[in-house]
Amino acid sequence: MNELDFPPLVIDYYGSLLAGVDEVGRGPLVGSVVAAAVILDPQQPIEGLTDSKKLSPKRREALAAQIREQALAFSVAQASAQEIDQINIYQATHLAMRRAIDGLSPGAEYLLVDGNRLPGHAVAGQAVVKGDLRHPAISAASILAKVVRDADMLVLDEKYPGYGFARHKGYPTREHLAALERLGPLPEHRQSFGPVKRQQNLL
């Protein structure tokens, strides 16, 4: 599925302070969920923006640097594994998004949020299904969020080298599940997620 499978995106806003908002990290078993909000500069378009998952790590890093340099504003925020356990991943994702939106300076006047729900922020906006393929500001947010979360996983990999975080980025791959069974859950694991909870119950 790509942007051509959707009708043209109609946006009910004509100013320049439009923020794209996206998150990365709902599915992993470990670490924070990371959200970003980006207001691109219409006078400095950035070529090659798309869903972060479709880009190589090297290309994502290059685009992230360009976004930080050329955007009118950007903000990256997180909700921790502990917050995810306390309020669930859905609510924590929206919490991270609201934090990212609040971190923008200048602030946004309108939001385009990837997905089918708005995060409950006072700024007006619209949810855009597959938004990271359909609007460059959401693509930019997707890229920044993924670069930050991947960097967090590299730090975690150095701290706990037996889990393979640099490779699977915390997702429930066969390698991660085997390490979880062999070594047990870490404080950074999401204790409310099924595979982690099952291992906790075996301790």
Which strands make up the sheet holding 73-79, listed edge to edge? 73-79, 33-39, 18-24, 110-114, 125-128
From 171, 25, 172, select the one nearest 92 (Cα to Cα). Answer: 25
Cα separation, 18 vs 69, in Å, equals: 17
Contacts of 52 (CB under 8 A, 6+ apart): 24, 60, 132, 139, 142, 143, 145, 146, 147
| Assigned domain for 60 exists | yes
Q: What is the mean pLDDT of residues 5-17?
A: 88
Q: What pLDDT score does 82 carry?
A: 98
Residue 29 burial class via C-beta count within 10 angstroms: exposed 0-12, middle 13-18, buried 19 and up: buried
The residue whose two tokens read 């640097």 is 65
Supply the pLDDT for residue 135.
96
Q: For residue range 30-84, what is the model confidence (pLDDT) as tens digits?
A: 999 999 999 999 999 999 999 999 999 999 999 999 999 999 999 999 999 999 9
What is residue 2's predicted lDDT score, i.e. its pLDDT?
57
Return the biggest CA–CA distance within the chain.
Answer: 57
Q: Kindly state whether residue 189 falls inside one of the protein's structural domains.
A: no
The number of folded domains in the chain is: 1
Which range of residues forms the domain containing residue 72?
16-161
- Predicted model pTM: 0.94
Show the DSSP H helices in 113-161 as ranges: 131-134, 136-159
Q: Is residue 6 part of a domain?
A: no
Residue 183, pLDDT > 70, answer yes
**Residue 11 maps to a domain:** no
Q: What average pLDDT does this structure show over 150-178?
A: 97
Whole-number percent of the chain with pLDDT over 90:
93
CATH of the domain at 78: 3.30.420.10
Least confident of 10-14, 68-72, 149-153, 189-193: 10-14
Contact 123, 109 (CB under 8 A): yes
Q: Is the pLDDT of residue 4 over 60?
A: no
Q: Would you tell me how many other CB atoms lie within 10 Å of the CB of residue 190?
A: 25
Question: Residue 41: inside a domain, yes or no?
Answer: yes
Residue 191 lies in a domain: no
Quick check: is 185 in a domain? no
pLDDT recorded at residue 177:
97
Instruction: Give a yes or no: residue 197 inside a domain.
Output: no
